[in-house]
Amino acid sequence: MSLFSFKIRLYLLFLITTNLKAQTTTVWYNHSNHPFWFDTTRLDKPTRHYFKAMELALVNQFTQSAAMLYPLAIDTINPIAKPAQSQLALLYFFQNQFQNVLDLTQKTKSKPAFYTDALFFNDRPKSLLTLKNVSYTVPFVLRHKSLIVVEVLIQGRRKKFVLDTGFSRTAISRLLANELGLVVYESNSTVSTATGSTQVAISSIKHLEFGNVLLENWPVYCYSSFPLRHIDGVIGLDVLRQISYTVNFPQTRLTIEKTVADSSLTKNLFGLSMPMMAIQVANDQRLDVFYDSGSDGFDLNKNAITKLKPLPIGRKLIVIRGINKGISIRLGKRVKHLNLTHDGYLLSCKNIPISTREDDVFSIPTTGIMGNRPFRKGLLRIDFPNNHYSYEATPSLLQKTASAKPVQ
């Protein structure tokens, strides 16, 4: 292939993928319960395979996704090779398959940003996640009206951790790492979360237990400190996406269950390192928001404002707390009120900040970031393995859960 034809092909790929990104703002999942479909009929075979692999990754079919990405990643003369290498390395890394990251790097001569992190983790014993019981219920403390704080047992010490889907990986404070005598590696990696990014160190913990979940030799990020007092760490998406759990906000009870595959469930929860939640607005529009359970806020970006026009917009002093960013206070634009719906339940939201941040997951533009605040009057079930969440807030259900399995 000549240099000229290579450049033309690369330019055409850019134009096509840009067009696909625009199309996905209106198509998320179809009546066959697939997460979303790109119109790839005019693309070449490698590019079609790349987008199919992205679809598979969104619905937790990581093995199948990696199998499709690998031949694309090692075909280095193809313009799709670079994005395939990046996505495949990401798949391996967030599944704790660190040797695969190193092997891919050697094969393609292309180092991902987290290559040295993979080297460090690969020298440690293999990580394991085990559910000791099929179902287990524990109490939690609700901080700032929406942050779920649970007690964990980490290497013989009882500590307070937040359940935080905005963290791609479980994390601890530097203070706790020192207390446990952990080996800490100063990483150059910058870690993205649903509310920002920050530079971290890395380490590995031998034993962490909460509820019926046991983590052994688990890779963790180390932060200099967490802004909230008496918080020692977070249980991140690397753990939460492997389990199913129900949060009973009125009774402050967390039930962790072994996942049972169920193809009948509506797919409305997607993502790999950052989760995306599809939620309906009362006027039958749909918002695709990052679900960040470590933030007490709910904000919309200009994609949402454009999609939902007209909206009642004003200005107000906005206060948002997040585990990784502390407290943010600013005067800004906000949506005065917005009604969301889920399975017949009305979620009324007021004074929603308008953010300038824009993100996308596999070419799907997001419309904002949502924490637990809209769900705190009922039961929120998160089932990442089945790409599903549900919410219920009826008095009869709350009475029924009062007589459910006691805390152990």
- Please give the domain boundaries of the chain with CATH numbers for all domains: 7-123 (no CATH), 128-257 (2.40.70.10), 269-393 (2.40.70.10)
Query: Which amino acid would we find at residue 266?
Result: T
Entry pTM: 0.82
Q: What is the pLDDT of residues 95-123, one digit of tens each?
A: 999 999 999 999 999 999 899 999 999 99
What pLDDT is recorded for position 17?
42
What pLDDT is recorded for position 353?
73
The tokens describing 134, both together, are 């099929």
- Would you say 297 and 371 are in contact if contact means Cβ atoms under 8 Å apart? yes
What pLDDT is recorded for position 59?
84
- Would you say 353 and 332 are in contact if contact means Cβ atoms under 8 Å apart? yes
What pLDDT is recorded for position 154?
97
- Would you say 98 and 122 are in contact if contact means Cβ atoms under 8 Å apart? yes
What pLDDT is recorded for position 57?
87
- Distance (Å, whole) CA 171 – CA 293: 15
What pLDDT is recorded for position 23?
36
**Planar angle of CA 140, 143, 146, nearest 5 degrees:** 90
What pLDDT is recorded for position 313?
75
What pLDDT is recorded for position 245?
97
What pLDDT is recorded for position 197?
63
DSSP label of 112 = -
Which segments in the chain show pLDDT lower than 70?
Answer: 1-40, 191-197, 227, 282-283, 316-332, 356-364, 394-408
Residue-wise burial string across 294-329, b where 16 or more C-beta atoms lie within 10 A, e elsewhere: bbbbbbbbebbbebbeebeeeeeebebbbbbbeeee
DSSP label of 79 = T
The tokens describing 178, both together, are 């020192």
What pLDDT is recorded for position 322?
54
Residue-wise burial string across 220-242, b where 16 or more C-beta atoms lie within 10 A, e elsewhere: bbbbeebebeebbbbbbbbbbbe
Query: Which amino acid would we find at residue 45?
Result: K
- Would you say 369 and 311 are in contact if contact means Cβ atoms under 8 Å apart? no
What pLDDT is recorded for position 12?
39
Q: What is the pLDDT of residues 209-245, one digit of tens each?
A: 999 999 999 999 998 877 677 899 999 999 999 999 9
What pLDDT is recorded for position 326?
53
- Name the 3-class secondary structure at 262: coil
H/E segment holding residue 4: helix 3-23
What pLDDT is recorded for position 88?
95
